[in-house]
Amino acid sequence: MAEPPKQDQGPGPARYAGLGIQLAASIFLFVFGGQWLDRRLGTGALFTILGAFVGFGGTMVWIIHRLNADQRDDK
């Protein structure tokens, strides 16, 4: 007797488990780099704040792009 076809239940939670860690690591690295530049150039907190925004924004753009690509692949 043939088995019924398996229905796609979508991606499992493990597929996206590392996204939060990746977001945190990216923000940390950009903030750390911004602090280093601020100390080196004597610019106060300019590059630290800029690093936080670039780290968060860039990672969010990448995550959204990845999720959209995964959604297209699942269809």
Instruction: Please tell me what DSSP assigns to residue 42.
Output: T
Please count the other Cβ atoms lying within 10 Å of the Cβ belonging to residue 31.
20
CA 34 to chain centroid: 19
* Residue 6: pLDDT over 70: no
Residues 38, 32: Cα–Cα separation, whole Å: 10
Each residue's pLDDT tens digit, 53-69: 999 999 999 989 988 88
Report the predicted TM-score, pTM, of the whole model to 2 decimal places. Answer: 0.72
In this structure, are residues 9 and 26 in contact, taking their beta carbons and an 8 Å threshold?
A: no
Residues 54, 61: Cα–Cα separation, whole Å: 10
Position 8 confidence tier, pLDDT thresholds 50, 70, 90? low
